[in-house]
Structure 1
Amino acid sequence: MRFLPHLLKRFIEKGRLVVIDAGGSYQSFGTGRDGPEVTIRFADAKLERELFFNPELVAAEAYMDGRLTFEGGSGVYDFLYLFSINRKGLGSHPVQQGLRRAWRGLRRWHQSNPLGRAASNAQSHYDHPPDFYRLWLDSRMIYSCAYFPTPDASLEEAQEAKLRHIAAKLKLEPGMKVAEIGSGWGALAIYLAERGVHVTAINVATEQLAESRKRAEAAGVADRITFFERDYRELTGSFDRVVSVGMMEHVGVNHFDEYFATVKRLLGPGGFAMIHAIGRMSPPGTTAPFIRKYIFPGGYVPAMSEVFSSLERVGLWAADCEILRLHYYWTIRNWRLNFEAKRPEVVAMMGERFARMWEFYLVAVELGFLHGSNMVYQLLLANERDAVPVIRDYIVDEERALAKLA
């Protein structure tokens, strides 16, 4: 090996990485302290050079293709855990710094989501067969951050608590009109409709909408939910409440003002919105190349400065902001463990390469919420300063009342 050691000597400070090259030679990097010991093997000599120039993308692709394998009990989790606790060292290498600057310069192009392309980007992720997602999500198939009353709560309990927490913040009254931007498999729309409101739910993922309609019928609330296959910019009408969960991550930095202007336009007099999305506590950045290429094309997790700057430009009141710091780590940990337990079924349904890709994705994102800068925020937004109750106690009061009805 000629290229990679220059990077790995700077990179691996905690734990130890043992690399077996294509010729069978061993090299070790790191102290072995404060982290796992991971042994990887390269199937060919080209991989070392490729990893040096684009480690985040190439490591994932090499694992997916079987060119990078683990030995001695090591696995994807240990490998990415080692990466996550040493990631500051990766950014200190001059070549990596140059590549990151170049990648950042392309971020607006990477995140371009005009009408049409936005739907195509979303469908590439969400239009896998519902039976695949059913293997590892909760029974409602909620694919967004849960709300854990305690870290050891079950995924079912935490997702129920999330629905209750959102409904409480919305302070619903029977007969209200609610717009949901990005409706997933319909769990939130169904939950809200069961509380006596009418929901107009939009989504661009055809498979999700078909499943949502079936679930609404089974729950007996199909007459109170209207599902549309529609981009958020195409939604019209006036609503008492607007809610959007796990959607803003797909908007892209070029379109934040369009997104919030849509929310502003949809709110009727005295109405307000609840936005739940992933953010970062660090300054503005980019989407990791593996995530952008294989998982969420067009996606971007915004810095809070970008979110609030857009709100200022659009002219919406930020009436409340709650930061969920560890809840998504606990959520994805549950998903990953469920996925691991069902991995043979995933392989039978989707193939080995897909299973490896998804495994890499779940582990990487889980650790991003443990060691990285990611978190989840919930905003309450309004056109009028007093549309949202001025004392936050109402949220707890509403949650308790909803819990009694469960």
Structure 2
Amino acid sequence: MRARIARLIVDRMFDQLPVRAVYPDGTVRGRGGPELRIVRPEAMFERIARSPKIGLGEAYQAGDWTAGEGTDLGELLTPFAARVTQLVPRPLLKLRWLVDKRMPRTLRNTPTGARSNISAHYDLSNALFAAFLDPGMTYSSALFDHAGQDLEEAQRRKVERILDQAGVGAGTRLLEIGIGWGTLAIAAAQRGAHVTGITLSTEQLRLARRRVADAGLTHRVELRLQDYRAVTGSYDAIVSVEMIEAVGAEYWPEYFRTLERLLAPGGSIALQAILMDHDRMLVTRNSYGWIQKYIFPGGLIPSRTAIDETLAKYAQLAVEDDYRFGADYAETLRRWRHNFAANWPLIREQGFDETFRRTWEFYLAYSEAGFASGYLDVGQLRLGQLSGSENIDRTTRSLPGAAAR
């Protein structure tokens, strides 16, 4: 019964979308466009009925549906992402609490939990990531300056821009939170900065240290397996690229207080952050989705409003610059997905199976659709310290009765 109800709801969605959904019996729904071929309807709708936020992805992993011949999966998912807030009837939206699952407490980003969550994704295999990333091993959005630009060049352009944003130069004491495979640390050291970099991934750390040594920069770069909360010292600049998504709303106050504590007077912080609209973030922040279950345990994408509100309440910091380039992330993900498909034979040789292939194919296409549709965005944010007068003004405005005055 619940699978039949799910089919009625999903068919109604198809009929609002520029897609062509084809059932095994030849039934076609949708307004035409990229083709979604349903292989096992009963299994697919049972999964969706059991867990609406997770079931569609699990059905793809299991092969219950697929993109039609000649259809690009990213293009197929983009219309869904573009209309995600309009597809479900309003009366059903009011009942989402009945089907939404809360994030398991085991995925909280405590110091121990964060180590486990990061390891679950980033310690899969350095060879896996090398098979689809650019040669510089940069796992975040590139910044393109023209169509057809080489991915590695666009990644270097992104790195150089955020280093400029943070004011990193010769002699800068730089802290990088979340080092990836060392590309930014190497670029900063080549500018003459003294870099301290931290990660919770043993696999990333091993390869990043080797790359730093190969570049002859060990005298300028120190890389550690360490949680951001355990860092001490004072730094002229702090840079963190797409790491805030792994912090979790519960720990945003501590994260920004830590940045404030570690920043030397007059210093700058530059964050590259995936962002979503505030209303959407509020709806999803306490629920458990496919991405958290299968790709990024404990992850949550913030909104710019959430960042501003957390800063205003917990740290003497404020966003001074906000540069957005969401369309570039869609292109970055498209290239990663195509690299992944082209190099799948090499990935399979590492022991990854067909379910893993479909899981990551869906993850990359699903994410690409989010950016291509504008549901998600990415920005480089520069945070600066508030002046004394700004601190006083902020405190005054937060006092009881301030609005009436």
Q: TM-score, normalised by structure 2?
A: 0.86
Structure 1 counterpart of 2:36, from 38, 46, 49: 38
How far did residue 112 of structure 1 move?
2.6
Q: Deviations over 1:257-288 (max 9, x none)?
A: 11110100001122111111111134224266
Do residues 158 (structure 1) and 159 (structure 2) align? no
How far did residue 319 of structure 1 move?
2.2
Q: Which residue of 2 aligns with 1:295?
A: 295
* Larger displacement relative to structure 2 (50-59 or 124-133): 50-59
How far did residue 73 of structure 1 move?
4.3
For 1:147-186, list aligned pairs within 5 A. Answer: 147-186=143-182
Do residues 306 (structure 1) and 309 (structure 2) align? no
Q: Given the superposition, is the C-alpha separation of residues 127 and 83 from structure 1 closer, same or farther in structure 2, using an over 3 Å criterion?
A: same
Q: In structure 1, how many angstroms separate the alpha carbons of the residues matched to 2:35 and 2:243?
A: 38
Structure 2 counterpart of 1:259, from 255, 262, 267: 255
Q: Which residue of 1 aligns with 2:196?
A: 200
For 1:99-248, list aligned pairs within 5 A. Answer: 99=96, 103=100, 106=102, 112-248=108-244
Q: In structure 2, how many angstroms separate the alpha carbons of the residues matched to 1:188 and 1:171?
A: 14
Do residues 5 (structure 1) and 7 (structure 2) align? yes
How far did residue 9 of structure 1 move?
3.3
For 1:30-69, list aligned pairs within 5 A. Answer: 30-32=30-32, 35-42=33-40, 45-69=42-66
Q: In structure 2, how many angstroms separate the alpha carbons of the residues matched to 1:220 and 1:279?
A: 36
Q: Is the 8 A contact 2:21 2:37 kept in 1?
A: yes
Q: In structure 1, how many angstroms separate the alpha carbons of the residues matched to 2:73 and 2:112?
A: 35
How far did residue 228 of structure 1 move?
0.9
Q: Deviations over 1:147-192 (max 9, x none)?
A: 1112332211101111111121122332221111111101000110
Q: Given the superposition, is the C-alpha separation of residues 109 and 322 from structure 1 closer, same or farther in structure 2, using an over 3 Å criterion?
A: farther
User: Percent sequence identity over matched residues?
Assistant: 35
* Larger displacement relative to structure 2 (327-336 or 225-234): 327-336
Q: In structure 1, how many angstroms separate the alpha carbons of the residues matched to 2:134 and 2:143?
A: 13
How far did residue 215 of structure 1 move?
0.2
Q: Which residue of 2 aligns with 1:341?
A: 342
Q: Which residue of 2 aligns with 1:377?
A: 379
* Larger displacement relative to structure 2 (359-368 or 336-345): 336-345
Q: In structure 1, how many angstroms separate the alpha carbons of the residues matched to 2:88 and 2:107?
A: 22
Q: In structure 2, how many angstroms separate the alpha carbons of the residues matched to 1:65 and 1:296?
A: 19
Q: In structure 2, how many angstroms separate the alpha carbons of the residues matched to 1:157 and 1:174?
A: 23
Gaps of 5+ in 2: 389-405
How far did residue 315 of structure 1 move?
1.9
**For 1:223, what is the secondary structure of its paired residue?**
coil
Structure 2 counterpart of 1:275, from 271, 277, 290: 271
How far did residue 318 of structure 1 move?
2.2
- Whichever residue aligns with residue 345 of structure 1, its letter is L
Q: Is the 8 A contact 2:74 2:334 kept in 1?
A: no
Q: In structure 1, how many angstroms separate the alpha carbons of the residues matched to 2:173 and 2:98?
A: 46
Q: In structure 1, how many angstroms separate the alpha carbons of the residues matched to 2:94 and 2:38?
A: 25
Q: Which residue of 2 aligns with 1:359?
A: 361
Q: Deviations over 1:292-349 (max 9, x none)?
A: 1000111011111101001111221322222223121121111112112112222232
**For 1:83, what is the secondary structure of its paired residue?**
helix
Q: Which residue of 1 aligns with 2:325?
A: 324
**For 1:118, what is the secondary structure of its paired residue?**
helix
Question: What number of residue pairs does the alignment pair up?
Answer: 379
Q: Is the 8 A contact 1:41 1:71 kept in 2?
A: no
Q: Is the 8 A contact 2:34 2:72 kept in 1?
A: no
Do residues 15 (structure 1) and 11 (structure 2) align? no
Q: In structure 2, how many angstroms separate the alpha carbons of the residues matched to 1:46 and 1:325?
A: 35
Q: Deviations over 1:64-109 (max 9, x none)?
A: 22333455545644542453344344332644552367638x3695
Q: Given the superposition, is the C-alpha separation of residues 214 and 372 from structure 1 closer, same or farther in structure 2, using an over 3 Å criterion?
A: same
* Larger displacement relative to structure 2 (307-316 or 6-15): 6-15
Q: TM-score, normalised by structure 1?
A: 0.86
Q: Given the superposition, is the C-alpha separation of residues 151 and 54 from structure 1 closer, same or farther in structure 2, using an over 3 Å criterion?
A: farther
**For 2:7, what is the secondary structure of its paired residue?**
helix
For 1:379-398, list aligned pairs within 5 A. Answer: 379-385=381-387
How far did residue 27 of structure 1 move?
3.0
Q: In structure 1, how many angstroms separate the alpha carbons of the residues matched to 2:91 and 2:27?
A: 22
Q: Given the superposition, is the C-alpha separation of residues 89 and 173 from structure 1 closer, same or farther in structure 2, using an over 3 Å criterion?
A: closer
What is the Cα-based RMSD across aligned positions, in Å? Answer: 2.4
Q: Which residue of 2 aligns with 1:92?
A: 89
How far did residue 145 of structure 1 move?
1.0
* Larger displacement relative to structure 2 (330-339 or 176-185): 330-339
Q: Is the 8 A contact 2:176 2:238 kept in 1?
A: yes
Q: Which residue of 1 aligns with 2:25?
A: 25
Q: Which residue of 1 aligns with 2:396?
A: none
